[in-house]
Structure 1
Amino acid sequence: MVGRVPTLGPTRVRFTSDRTAPVAGAWYPYTADLACELGNLSAAVSPLIGDITSISVNWQNYRRFPGLDSSDSPAIPPLMTITTPQTTATVLVIPCRTSSSLAAVLLRLAGDTELLDGQAHSLETLRGRRILSLAGQYLQEQESAAAGR
């Protein structure tokens, strides 16, 4: 079967109910080969926000991204902007090298999903809130810079 991408599992993506939020959701791909997973992402996202007309990203080479819990994690987490005829939503792309525990918390936080018992004050939750805050600050700075032009 040449050209067929194996299904790795369910698409791990969550959105907040407010699609206009600075970070409106998160996606946790299985691999660093995002091109192979975009079809599954598109299929999972389209019923939630509409048919995708464009996708843009804020990084040069995703394959080089360490996990978001790594000491050499970038100051600005990877973000993807998904545009449909109805809306534009920015999602945090959680590098596949990120620990599954932090990724699970980030998916819950970005999707406004209730945290599990005992997670509210955990180190992973504190990291997750910091990562989402950095992403939001970056987006606000970009918006301010664009308005100033």
Structure 2
Amino acid sequence: MKAQLFLAATLLVSSSVSAQSNTYFSQDNSIESKLCVLSANEGFSAARKLAAKHNVYLSRFSQSIMCNGQDIRDIAKKDSTNNIIENKVEVFAKDAQQETQLCMTALKQGLAPVRQKIGNLNSLKCNGQKVTDFVKRYQNAAI
């Protein structure tokens, strides 16, 4: 019989977005302005697709269009690197059962000590997952 473990894992998802969700717009209707706005708002790939429809070539490797004194590639990179999402996971034992302690040992010390105690790792479940999958998922979590 597989041991069931009630181990509470708290997932604290904090969206640390350093950008202020800027939306760019153009003052005129030129294709170059539209490409700059599209690159800043939706990325360089979207701008390249629109450019191709208007027979304009945007190079990934060399300067092609300047947007307010900056290369169109740099505007797209700057906007995409500002969004950072950080996930924090805290794992703690909900009870003092042997199975719970084995799962905590697996997280802290690895699978080898647990394998020595119980032999077959397939007989241990942590939060309804195989202990090996559980360790892969939460090995870098705060304990």
Give the alignment's TM-score, normalised by structure 2.
Answer: 0.27
Indicate the structure (1 or 2) with the bigger Cα radius of gyration. 2
Q: Which of the pair is proportionally richer in helix?
A: 2
Higher RCO (CA-CA < 8 Å; seq separation 6+): 2
Give the alignment's TM-score, normalised by structure 1.
Answer: 0.27
